[in-house]
Structure 1
Amino acid sequence: MADRVKAVATEEALHFKELAEEAARSGAYFYPFKGIIYLLCHYNLWQPLFSRIGPTIALGLGVTYVMFFFTYLPQTALLAFTNGPLAPLSAALLVLSESATMIHFLSRYFLLEDSLIDTFDGTLVACGHDALVADGRQLRGGSDRGGHDHSDPIARLGKLLKQPFPPGTINPRAILRSMLYYIPLNFIPIVGTLMYVIAQGKRVGPLVHARYFQLKGWDTKQRDEWVRRNRAAYTSFGVVAFLLELAPFAALVLAHSNTVGAALWASDIQKVEAASTAPNVRSEQAKEAH
């Protein structure tokens, strides 16, 4: 186990500098904070959040309480051998990260799937990407006999045409394997905990755009290639999103704001893509005119 921990630590350290430089250039780490601001300023996007607030808070409090009750003291005792006086703090951060990982999986898999999809799609609609969202669900327009205001992006969302998360996007075995594999890193004082958070960000990051990839109609090969080319950006987004969701009492709100941030990022990607293709379109139109 010691050799494996050293190998993981060495590998992560070698990639850290390169990832940090690429992540800084991408600016993707700003999007979770943009998501918070955007969510606060657009109350229409709060509806999916309110629809799941009770059960999710109960789940978060229950998981966090159980984890602290059963694992905090044992992990503090183990970390005392490597972290010394920092053991209580390191153990608390470790338990919070373990709890966050479990809550993230359980809530998204059992409670938040629909509300997060609505939040993501609603944000894209609010940003003017109706055509993109229409590839994955029906959209309402105008007003109906019930007097619903369809200028509200959430009210415009209709029946899903595609299953929100493709098979394999959420893998319980992968979650468990990730926890068992990276938790030993926390026994390396400070640096190990940092590496653990980065590793979780690397895992979580690409998942935030699972819906976006689906709306784009990309297959597995296209998704993997895109993520590979933007690995640093997704890791930086994932790190910030993961740290924000460590807060047990605010995790529900921050999960939705992170989803808003992911949708804003997708919106900007779409705008860059449209801007890059526009000259080609004009060029083709000019050729046809001649």
Structure 2
Amino acid sequence: MRVRGCSYTAGIWYYVTNPFLFRYLKGRLLPCVLLSLFVLANLFVWTYLPQVALLYLFHREAAWFNATVLVLSEGAAVVALLFECFFVDETQVDIFDAVLVAEGYEYLVATRRHVDAEGNDPGKRLGPQEHHAVYYPFSLRQTVEFIILLPLNFIPIVGSPMFIFLCGYRAGPLQQYRYFKFLGMDKKARKQYVRYYRWKYTWFGTGALILQLIPVLNMFFLLSTTVGSALLAIQLEEKRIRAHGEVERGQAHDEESSDEPPPYTDELSPHGYGTL
């Protein structure tokens, strides 16, 4: 039951309409709500007014709004870091894989873990995760860029949107890290693939970050974004299959139109991103 539309918003609808995903939220919801409230309360008590005072030098009346966005961004980053490092990453791996299995793409998941051939619950069909399974890898470059880009929030009106957009530019491709692993892409192949879909990934990453700014619901949107990332991977996988079919049809046509036997070639992946 694939949902069309913007992947990060489609992920929300898909999550709430597929009961097999509920188990992944149930055990995490209360800890996340408490942690989010604790982090945001401390940030607003200790850092909000100082940031308003600093931003007032540049933004005047808009300082209150921009300081709110800045504190929520900081809170979202802290909560996401804590949960992705200690609680969530394995859950995100299971969600991503379960959605692919539910939509009939278990052959991708099977490249990294066992998938049972039968069963009505996609989550229960998943075998144990492979050693060091990662959904969203830690990126030192992203962390440094986040710190460097923070001063953009001092720019009136356009500063905060620019900050979110540029962070989304880096975050979008990282959300697809597991899909790249399924395809067996090395670093060079990933760069080429991301360059080909750069704006799609940037749009996805930006939307996901905006959802992360919503207090308390950070955890749910963190998991629903994982679902959206799986739906995006399915869209791109369908394009890859179609492109590969066109390559095969072209090769067959060349074989039929030539009296000479075709030269040996390795199996190619679409767009020339390496063998799969």
TM-score w.r.t. length of structure 1: 0.81
Q: Does 1:265 align with 2:232?
A: yes
Alpha-carbon spacing, 1:165–1:248, altered in 2? closer, same or farther (3 Å): same
| Partner residue, 1:102 | 78
Relative contact order, higher structure (CA 8 A, sep 6+): 1
The 8 Å contact of residues 90 and 134 in structure 2, kept in 1 or not, is answered as no
TM superposition shift of 1:283: 5.5
| Partner residue, 1:127 | 103
| Partner residue, 2:273 | none
The structure where helix makes up a greater share of residues is 1
Amino acid corresponding to residue 41 of structure 1 in structure 2: T
Structure 1 outlier segments of 4+, above 3 Å: 173-176, 279-288
Superposed CA deviations along residues 53-86 of structure 1, whole A, max 9, x for unmatched, are 2222222222211211211010000011111111
The separation in 1 between residues aligned to 2:166 and 2:5, in whole angstroms, is: 15
The separation in 2 between residues aligned to 1:161 and 1:211, in whole angstroms, is: 12
Paired residues for 1:169-184 under 5 Å: 169-171=137-139, 173-184=140-151
Please say which of residues 152-161 and 48-57 is displaced more in the overlay.
48-57
TM superposition shift of 1:284: 5.2
Q: Does 1:214 align with 2:218?
A: no
The separation in 2 between residues aligned to 1:217 and 1:54, in whole angstroms, is: 36
Which of 157, 175, 184 lines up with 2:126 in the alignment?
157
Please say which of residues 175-184 and 257-266 is displaced more in the overlay.
175-184
Amino acid corresponding to residue 163 of structure 1 in structure 2: H
TM superposition shift of 1:212: 0.7
Superposed CA deviations along residues 218-272 of structure 1, whole A, max 9, x for unmatched, are 1111112211222221111111000011112111111111111110110111111
Partner SS state of residue 98, structure 1: helix
Partner SS state of residue 268, structure 1: helix
Alpha-carbon spacing, 1:185–1:242, altered in 2? closer, same or farther (3 Å): same
The separation in 2 between residues aligned to 1:110 and 1:175, in whole angstroms, is: 19
The 8 Å contact of residues 51 and 115 in structure 1, kept in 2 or not, is answered as no
User: Over aligned residue pairs, what C-alpha RMSD do you find?
Assistant: 2.2
TM superposition shift of 1:162: 5.1
The separation in 1 between residues aligned to 2:5 and 2:41, in whole angstroms, is: 30
Amino acid corresponding to residue 235 of structure 1 in structure 2: T
Q: Does 1:186 align with 2:162?
A: no
Q: Does 1:51 align with 2:20?
A: no
Q: Does 1:234 align with 2:234?
A: no
The separation in 2 between residues aligned to 1:140 and 1:52, in whole angstroms, is: 26
The separation in 2 between residues aligned to 1:65 and 1:177, in whole angstroms, is: 25
| Partner residue, 2:218 | 251
